[in-house]
Chains A and B, each alone.
Chain A
Amino acid sequence: MKLTQHEQSMVRGDMGSEIQRAIEQQIQVGEFWGADRFVEVTNVHMMGDIEVMGDSGLEHLSCMAQRKARCVIRTTTNARCFDFAHVEALGQDQAEAEKEKQLIAHLQAMDVMTTDTCINYQTLYQPHFGEHVAWGDTGTVIYANSVFGARTNFESGPAAMAAALTGRTPAYGFHLDQHRRGTFVVRVEADLRDLADWGALGKVVGQTHQDYFAVPVFDGLERTASADELKHLGAALASYGSMGMFHAVGTTPEAPSLTAALGGNKPTEEVRITNADIENVYRSYDLKDGQCNLVVFSAPQLSLFEMKQLADLMRGRKVKTGTHVFVTTANTVRSDAARLGYLRDIEQAGATVLSGVCFYILQNLSEIRVRNGWTNLISNSAKIVNTITAHKFNTILRRTVACVDIAVTGMLK
C-alpha cells in the first residue's frame, strides 16, 4: 500500500503504540483485499458489547484506554446486550451487566459516544453522497452504501476501533467505484405492502446469492419505498446474503436508471420475484405445536414511525396472559415515543420496550429462552428470524398486523 507521510509516521510509532498497532492491522486487511491506499473517513460506528467481546475483549479495551488511545473522529456505538433497567426482569447475569458498565466506561474514556443504536442512519448521522465512513453492523453499512450513496465496508469491532484511532480505512470494496455497480437484476412484481414483505424480499434474494460483492439491482418497484422499508430490505439482504450494497431503480442515488445502476456490468442473472414468492416465505415456517408466547419487534431497532404504527395497532388491546411481547428501539426514539404517547399505548397493552439493545444479542438469551419456555418466536423482522436461530428458537416471519394479532390472541396462524 502506498502510504502518505502522515500514515508512515503512524506506522513508525511516532503517534504512540495504539495507533501503530491499529494501522498495522489495517494494512494487513488492506493488503489481503489488494488496497493500494487509505481513504480518510469522517465517521465511525462500532459494535462493542460484553456478549460479543467476552472477557478478553474487555481486557483489551481496558489496556487501550489505559494507554490513552483516543478517537480522532466522531465514533458512535451499535446496539448492545443490556438495557440496565431490565437486567433483573429478564434474568440476565448481574456480573456480566457490571462488566458491560466497565466496557462502556472504557469506550467513553477513549471518546467513543456510546449511543447504542443500530439505526444511527435514522437517528444520528446521515453521511452525504460519496462520503467515506467506517461503519459496523451490516444493516448500517448496506443502508449507508445503498440509500445515501456513502461509502463503507463492513467494519467489525476491532476494524472500526482501528479506523477511529487512525481516521482512515483501506480503500477496497465499496470505497471503490468498480464494486458499487450492480451485478444482477431483480425484477420486482410483488406488491410489498408490509415491512415484513420487504424483509421477505431480502431473504429470498440474499439466501440464494451469499456473496459480499454481489450487488442486486431491484427494478420495477411500483412506488417510492420509505426509509423503514429500505431498512428492512437491506437488513435482510445483509443477514441472509452477507451483502453490503443494493440499488433500487428510481429510488437510490446511484440508480437513476437500470443502465446507470449496472454501470457497464453485464448482469450475471435476472431474477423475478412475484407475490407467490413472498407468500411462499410465509408458508415455509414450521409452526411446531402452534403455541405462541413470544412476539418480538426488533432488528433493526424501531424508528419513531414504526413505534407509532405499533401504538396504533396495540392501543386499547391486551397481550394475552402468558405471552411476552418485546420491542427494541434507540434511546432517542424512546424519548420521543414517550413524549408523544406511543410508549404508553404499547406498554399499556402489555409489551416491554427495551432501549439501546437488540433482542437477538441480549446477554444470556439461550437461558432466558429455556426459563420462559419459549420455542416459537414470531416477528415481522426477516433479519431476526434468521439471526436468532443460534439460540435454538423456532422462528416464524409474519406481517406486522398479524404479529400484533398473534400477541393478543395467542393463536398462531
Chain B
Amino acid sequence: MSEVLLTIQVNRALGAAVEGEALVSSEGFSPRYDLDRWSGLITKPGHKLEGQNIRDKILFFPTAKGGIAAGWAFYDIRNKGFAPKALVFGVTNPVMVQGAVFANIPITEGWSRSPLECIETGDLVRVDPARKVIELLRRKD
C-alpha cells in the first residue's frame, strides 16, 4: 500500500473504496448540461474542464448544478463505458446521490480542506467511503 501524502476528511460518503487519477474542477458539474454522454468529454463551452474526459477519473467538484437528469445519466454513462471512478463534491444534491447509488459509483460530500488547494489534476488519489477519507497517494509526474 502506497504512503499517504495527505488526507482530507469528508462529511458524507457512500460506496466501495477506489483509487484513481484526480480531475479537479473549480466549477460545478451537471452530467446533462456539461457533458457529452456519447464520448465522456466535458463539452460545455467555457467550463473549467472543457475538453477533459471523465472516464475512470476521480472527479472533484465544488458544487452540483441543476438537473434531475443525472439520475439516469450516470447509469447510462456507466453502460457506455465512460463512468468516473468516484464523485467528490464540496456540496452536492440528492440527484447526484440517487444517480451514484443507481450506477454504483462511490460519492462523497463535504471536505475538511479544499482539494483545489492541495490536489492537482493527474495526482493519484484514494477515496475510502467507509473511513470517510480522501488520500493523496502520488503527485503526478
- Given known A-B contacts A52-B73, A156-B72, A392-B45, A29 and B98 have beta carbons under 8 A apart: yes
Among A234-242, A247-255, A343-351, the one that faces the other chain is A234-242
Bound Cα distance A56, B74 (Å): 11
How many A-B residue contacts, CB cutoff 8 Å? Answer: 132
* Residues in B89-130 with C-beta less than 8 Å from chain A: 91-95, 97-99, 101-102, 107, 109
Bound Cα distance A392, B97 (Å): 27
Count residues of B near A (Cβ-Cβ below 8 Å): 41
Return chain A residues, CB-CB under 8 Å to B67. 138, 239, 387
Tell whether A389 is near chain B: CB-to-CB under 8 Å: yes
Bound Cα distance A48, B71 (Å): 10
Tell whether B48 is near chain A: CB-to-CB under 8 Å: no
B98 adjacent to A53 (CB under 8 Å): no
B71 adjacent to A60 (CB under 8 Å): no
Interface centre among A157, A211, A240 (most CB of B within 10 A): A157
Count residues of A near B (Cβ-Cβ below 8 Å): 45
- Given known A-B contacts A32-B12, A56-B79, A47 and B98 have beta carbons under 8 A apart: no
B69 adjacent to A32 (CB under 8 Å): no
Interface centre among B64, B79, B98 (most CB of A within 10 A): B98
Among B68, B73, B91, B98, the residue within 8 A (CB) of A212 is: B91
- Given known A-B contacts A56-B75, A137-B68, A159-B94, A211 and B63 have beta carbons under 8 A apart: yes
Bound Cα distance A28, B105 (Å): 12
- Given known A-B contacts A210-B65, A387-B66, A154 and B93 have beta carbons under 8 A apart: yes
Tell whether A290 is near chain B: CB-to-CB under 8 Å: no
Tell whether A14 is near chain B: CB-to-CB under 8 Å: no
Tell whether B32 is near chain A: CB-to-CB under 8 Å: yes
Tell whether A89 is near chain B: CB-to-CB under 8 Å: no
Tell whether B53 is near chain A: CB-to-CB under 8 Å: no
Tell whether B44 is near chain A: CB-to-CB under 8 Å: yes
Bound Cα distance A154, B35 (Å): 20
Bound Cα distance A367, B132 (Å): 43
Return chain B residues, CB-CB under 8 Å to A244. 93
Return chain A residues, CB-CB under 8 Å to B75. 56-57, 60, 158
Return chain B residues, CB-CB under 8 Å to A240. 66
Bound Cα distance A17, B91 (Å): 33
Nearest CB on B from A12, distance (A): 20
A158 adjacent to B14 (CB under 8 Å): no
Return chain A residues, CB-CB under 8 Å to B43. 390, 392
Bound Cα distance A57, B102 (Å): 11
Bound Cα distance A56, B36 (Å): 16
Bound Cα distance A306, B107 (Å): 41
Tell whether B19 is near chain A: CB-to-CB under 8 Å: no
Nearest CB on B from A321, distance (A): 30
Return chain B residues, CB-CB under 8 Å to A213. 91
Tell whether A355 is near chain B: CB-to-CB under 8 Å: no
Nearest CB on B from A110, distance (A): 16
A-B contact pairs, 23 of them (CB 8 A): A25-B101, A28-B14, A32-B14, A47-B69, A47-B71, A47-B72, A53-B72, A56-B78, A57-B72, A57-B75, A57-B76, A154-B93, A157-B71, A158-B98, A210-B63, A212-B93, A242-B28, A242-B66, A386-B33, A387-B33, A389-B33, A390-B33, A390-B36
Given contacts A244-B93, A387-B66, A392-B45, 10 further A-B contacts (CB under 8 A): A32-B13, A54-B76, A56-B75, A154-B94, A155-B68, A156-B70, A156-B72, A212-B92, A361-B69, A392-B43
**B residues lining the A interface (CB < 8 Å):** 12-14, 28, 32-37, 43-45, 63-73, 75-76, 78-80, 91-95, 97-99, 101-102, 107, 109
**A residues lining the B interface (CB < 8 Å):** 25, 28-29, 31-34, 47-48, 52-57, 60, 78, 136-138, 153-160, 172-173, 210-213, 238-240, 242, 244, 361, 386-387, 389-390, 392
